[in-house]
Chain A
Amino acid sequence: MNSQLALHKSSREVPTLRIAPSKGWVPLKLDELWEYRELLYFLVWRDIKVRYKQTALGATWAVIQPFLTMVVFSLFFGHLAKMPSDGIPYPIFSFAALVPWTFFANGLSQSSNSLVGSSNLITKVYFPRLIVPLASSFSGVVDFLIAFGVLIVMMLYYGLLPTFNALWLPLFLLLAMVTSLGVGLWLSALNVEYRDVRYVVPFITQFWLFATPIAYPSSLLHEPWRTIYGLNPMVGVVEGFRWALLGTKTAPGPIIGVSAAAAIVILITGAFYFRRMEKTFADIV
């Protein structure tokens, strides 16, 4: 009888979880993130649904932002200041850069406040907190796709067709996502403790916009400066995007490598910093 019981028990061996104080650097636990993937899906779905239900403009907002910026740039930089644009009509030149840029900037502003905004969840339920800024980054994809659709329409209007290199596009989108997530992790973790971070974000975004070759081409710089410029990961995203879609004269090459490396470093350090500070979130948020 006893041995039967023992057999029954051992076939249902459940792992024991130990809850103990964590010290120092905490492992990322990516397997747990995978376990909670459904929750990630629901949070993204919730963000998108709520955003579209609330705004009267709905989907058009996704397009208005980059579009109007493009109009202003085209007027002042393209037309009046006669900025070179790598052999592409200036409006397309800037819009093709603004589409991934808007995805990045919105992802950034959403994720930097995501933890504080989800404080009602964080203080009541357990799930890997990494999911919160992750969901914010992902929920911008729908907006991106809509703006991208408009970009294709614009290209057709100008009589430009995408080159075969367009197959590389998803990779550049991924790079933009990695960058936005990486910076978002840093900012969201910092924002929990230092509440003025969210006020700094619009300034960071603004500054970064001009530090990225959106209104101007990176070919303005000579080597090796041009490659070093790639340390700004968005340089790789934007130039890569333009090259893949439109085939600019100056193929980016080494810049992409530098940008990708920079983005990955930001992401990994951001993830570790986030995990290290995670234990304090529920207490301070």
Chain B
Amino acid sequence: MSDIAIKVEGLGKRYRIGANQQAYKTLREKLTQTAATPFRAFQSLAGRNGHRSANGHKSKAEMIWALKDVSFEIKRGEVVGIIGRNGAGKSTLLKILSRITDPTEGYADITGRIASLLEVGTGFQPELTGRENIYLNGSILGMKHAEIRRKFDEIVAFAEVEKFIDTPVKHYSSGMYVRLAFGVAAHLDPEIMLVDEVLAVGDVDFQKKCVNSMQSVSDSGRTVLLVSHNLALIESLCQRAVLLDQGEVSSAGPTAEVIAEYLSRSQFCESENLTDHPRNEARSSAWFSRIQILNRQGESSREFRAGEEMAVKLGVAVQSPILQPWIGIRLRTPADQLICHIANREAGYQLPPISSASEIECQISSLNLLPGRYIVDLVLADMLNRDYDKISGAAYFDVRESDVLQSGMPMNQAYGLVFFPSKWKLVDVSERLG
């Protein structure tokens, strides 16, 4: 039991969002409310009620759960990565564990001195010198005066700002600023460290320095919780990882497994309807409305065998005619490795102009893909050089092992990504030579 540094149980955090949420309320309104309905006004002043709108009715403000029912345990000395898409709740989790904000439900037990690095250079004052800011920032991060004094020279050496240590920080270049800020943070000496994306800044050399210091922290037996989008970093530093998806723990375990789960999850759309699928650019006058992947029997499927037939049916909606349609299907792996483009013009097929909602079918006679998961991206364009729609992650499908070449030795994913039928024969050369 004393082995566990952080124990999180059923943690939840709820925020109020929506049109009814007034950014800041004014005391003036509060006072007029108090005059009208004194009791209710006093209750909400003491923070007891939810917020009521001006007319006194409890506003149906939308509540979102940034975190819901999050539970996990971290042993002393473990280095654990927290990964997930933007908005999954990673920073909220760190904020709660750093005691910056209160949870709405659940609890977390923390054993050991904790230091949080949610931002580099917190509290840095531009008017003060580097020396003064080291003391200030160190103190803000939780270091005692004596400790800062002891480590002062190391910090300055790490940041490489010896010459400028007595100049006001507002004269520093952004690189120096960040190095100094990280220098202080790197010399924190807590038992547990919570780090949030702070390694995303700085140039290549600096990044290397940061990674090294993170490595030495993890080597020294401290417990670390690291939030990052840099999956390579997470893989190299963390033994375990936790995947958050929309506020809930969707996976936890050895890093490699969790990362694989994350990559394959976040890449594609589950449904066939593409009209509302998020895109990078604004809607133009033509777009994909639907995708269906069909097997040989004409049924919608996500599983195929290597070498099987496949058909892709695409629904297209247009507001103005596309005269020379150019449609591309792009296949890639979850780790974003491009495999091929399949497009109508390159395949030698010219499609007639599309002037109303239509369906386009593409038939692939033999899927020469080895087993694995594949992501489908789509491009809709006009040969007259106009792009209409681009969807990343429109669909996915899995390829299963099969002995399509009927050799008794089917190939698996270790063989690569694609396969080709081949013919082999032996030519006896010795007769000719002799």
Contact = CB atoms under 8 A, between A and B. Distances in A.
B118 A124 contact: yes
Contact of A194 (B25, B98, B107, B128): B25
Interface string A103-127: 0000000000000000011111111
Nearest to A280: B47
A8 to B, nearest CB: 11
B98 A120 contact: no
Contact of B109 (A17, A194, A277): A17
A16 B3 CA distance: 12
Interface in B203-225: none
Given A14-B112, A126-B100, A126-B116, A50 B107 contact: no
Interface string A42-56: 100010011001100
A195 B24 contact: yes
Contacts of A123: 100
Contact of B27 (A16, A18, A50, A194): A194
B96 interface: yes
Interface stretch (B135-143, B264-272, B299-307, B383-391): B135-143
B26 A194 contact: yes
Interface in B1-16: 2, 15
Interface string B136-176: 10011110110000000000000000000000000000000
B138 to A, nearest CB: 9
Nearest to B138: A42
Contact of B110 (A9, A19, A193): A19
A265 B162 CA distance: 51
Most B CB contacts (10 A, CB to CB) among A123, A126, A197 go to A126
A126 B98 contact: yes
A132 to B, nearest CB: 12
B: interface residue count bin: 35 or more
A20 B97 CA distance: 10
A50 B47 contact: no
A122 B102 CA distance: 13
Nearest to A10: B2
A109 B119 CA distance: 29
A284 B104 CA distance: 15
A22 interface: yes
B108 interface: yes
Contacts of B97: 19
A53 to B, nearest CB: 5
A42 B109 CA distance: 30
A195 B26 contact: yes
Interface in B171-214: 191
A188 B35 CA distance: 23
Interface string A126-153: 1100000000000000000000000000
B250 interface: no
Contacts of B30: 194
A282 B127 contact: no
Given A9-B2, A195-B24, A20 B103 contact: yes
A33 interface: no
Contact of B140 (A42, A190, A280): A42
A: interface residue count bin: 35 or more
Given A53-B127, A195-B24, A196-B27, A125 B122 contact: yes
The prevalent SS among residues of A at the interface is helix
A122 B98 CA distance: 11
Contacts of A19: 96-97, 99, 102-103, 107-110
Contacts of B15: 283
A15 B2 CA distance: 10
A39 B2 contact: no
A49 B140 contact: no
Given A14-B191, A280-B47, A50 B128 contact: yes
B108 A276 contact: no
Contacts of B112: 14
B112 to A, nearest CB: 5
Given A194-B25, A276-B47, A46 B122 contact: no
Interface string B383-422: 0000000000000000000000000000000000000000
A187 to B, nearest CB: 10
A197 B28 CA distance: 9
Nearest to B104: A21
B122 A124 contact: yes
Interface string A25-48: 000000000000011001000100
Contact of B135 (A42, A190, A196): A42
A249 interface: no
A126 B46 CA distance: 23
A200 interface: yes
29 contacts: A9-B2, A14-B112, A14-B113, A16-B111, A17-B111, A18-B110, A20-B103, A20-B107, A21-B104, A39-B139, A46-B128, A46-B136, A49-B132, A50-B127, A50-B128, A120-B122, A120-B123, A121-B122, A123-B100, A125-B122, A125-B141, A193-B24, A194-B27, A194-B30, A195-B24, A196-B26, A277-B47, A282-B95, A283-B101
Given A20-B107, A125-B123, A282-B100, 4 more contacts: A17-B109, A124-B119, A126-B99, A276-B46
User: Closest 3 interchain pairs by CB?
Assistant: A20-B107, A195-B24, A194-B27
Interface of B: 2, 15, 24-28, 30, 46-47, 95-114, 116, 118-119, 122-123, 125, 127-128, 132, 135-136, 139-142, 144-145, 191
